[in-house]
Amino acid sequence: MYKLVIVDDEVLVREAIKCQTNWAELGFECVGDCEDGEDALAFMAREQVDVVLTDIGMPFMDGLELTRELSVKNPAVKVIILTGYDDFDYAQQAVKLQTVDYILKPITPSELGAVLLKLRAEMDGERNKERDYEQLKRQLAENMPVLKERFLERMTTAKMSDKEKSEGWDYFQLAWEGDCLIELAMDVDEFKWDHAATVTDEQLIRFAVFNVAQELIGAREGTEVFRDRENRVLALLSGDDPAELQERALLTAEEVHQAVTAILPAKLSIGIGCPCGLRDDIPSAHQTALSALEYRFVIGSNTIIRLSDLERREKPGLLAVVAWENELATRLKTGTLEEIDQWVDRLFAAIREQLLPLPVCQMYLQRIVLTLMHTFYELDHGVTPLAETEDSPLSELAALGSLDNTQAWMRRLCRKAVTVIRSMRENQSAVQVTKAIAYVKEHYRNPELSLISVCKHISMSPSYFSVLFKQHTGKTFIEFVTQERMERAKELLGLTAMKSYEIAYEVGYSDPHYFSGAFKKHWGDTPTDYRQKLTTKKA
């Protein structure tokens, strides 16, 4: 409810307005009445007032002068002018100050009520805006650390003008020491838990790493510690001398690394970038820190890596990946488990020796895995899953965090491929014989069934097939076909009333007499004698 004071030199007017207005219904409380402007100012010095309803013509201090005073001393107060026709031009001057409305006398309760309702709606809107603004200010203060992190992240990843940098530094009170910056990029390699780490566990550890770094070095002059969107912890160190800055960065990294690994169940790697000027290309310097950190994949986890140390080394030639691919294909097809293990170890020794940058290393390993997949599935035809999970081998490769883990994974993958391929070669003859047997069982009724037709079906030479068939079944091909036909003929003699010549045709013999002789040779009885014996037994 808003507080209102009436200012008019006529007592009857003041009393009439007070008594004839339903203040509560309109959302106001009439807290007092005054006879002139001076009296009103004195009253408002003692009481809080939101609205002044004032006559314009009064002795000592009129309504216009009161409005001027309020616009200086209390500009938040709303003023409604009561005026007669003679004072209309005078009232319009007041509107230019802070008057929200004016009402011509004589005034009625309905007219005043309409003006007050309109004013209340406006004041409610202003109050809501003010409340929203204050809430935004509180939220801004609460989120200032996050906003500061986002600014620092943007400063290290996006091109910024010097003006943008300076304004941001002032706003977030970033006080750099000197004109040079160097970045430390820190990331957790693995978690040393007795149980499988959950997402919550991992987030807590990463947050703890940030806290350790913040408490240890965050308060130092010219140093800022923050996190990026990848949950890496980044530290910016500033100074005048690039060489001194690099040494200080190394000491700082060692200090943080020792503290983190001593108190947290995690391995931490830290990449130290190259120094740059505060007015130079900071994003490029940021990339040097990330590049240094990426070398943990090749060098190993739980390490501190300075890019400047790597750049000073003598660089060997590029890996001859085509030669490695060709040798892999050969080893998979003809090699032993021991030979494929040796090949994997030699490959990864070459990668470590060359200290390949992560993108190049990943490209080479992807090519090796594609060669492995192509060679394997060319022989296996997709029957056996090569990957260890439901993902593809390439997806599994991308998820591996170190060269050591990748080497162990590659060895398992290659051993699996060699084992399956070797087993396929050992079982290939059995597969072909099984295919031939299935063909015979399906086509034994055909008088044209022969060794040639079966070999044509399985794409194998008759001489080689004959040897394989005898090895796997213990029978010659002719003996096996005859056995199948005789078994079926015996079934038909016992289960049907078919004539002997009909059964001969049914089991693949075009000559019934030849069938009868073959049946007797196989079972010791002619078809007729065999059926007669079955009938006698049943009787």
pLDDT tens digit sequence for 62-89:
888 898 899 888 988 999 988 775 555 6
CA distance 227 to 210: 7
Residues of the chain with confidence (pLDDT) below 70: 85-100, 193-195, 197, 312-319, 380-383, 425-426, 539
Residues contacting 355, CB < 8 A, separation 6+: 295, 298, 299, 310, 313
Instruction: Report yes or no: 139 and 145 within 8 Å, Cβ to Cβ.
Output: no
What is the model's pLDDT at position 266? 87
- Residue for token digits 């492995």? 372
Read off the pLDDT of residues 165-223 as tens digits, 9 standing for 90 and up. Answer: 999 999 999 989 989 999 999 999 888 766 676 788 888 999 999 999 999 999 999 99
Query: Which contacts qualify for 357-362: CB closer than 8 Å, 24 or more apart?
Result: 357/291, 357/294, 357/295, 358/291, 358/294, 358/295, 358/297, 358/298, 361/297, 361/298, 361/403, 362/397, 362/398
CA distance 340 to 413: 10
Q: 58, 59, 55, 107: which is closest to 81 by C-alpha?
A: 55
What is the model's pLDDT at position 390? 80
Q: Quickly list DSSP for 134-150.
A: HHHHHHHHHTHHHHHHH
What is the β-pairing status of strands 99-104 and 233-239?
A: unpaired
Which two tokens mark 14?
Answer: 């003041």
What is the model's pLDDT at position 340? 93
Whole-number Cα distances in Å, 66 to 55, 70, 142, 473: 10, 6, 42, 120
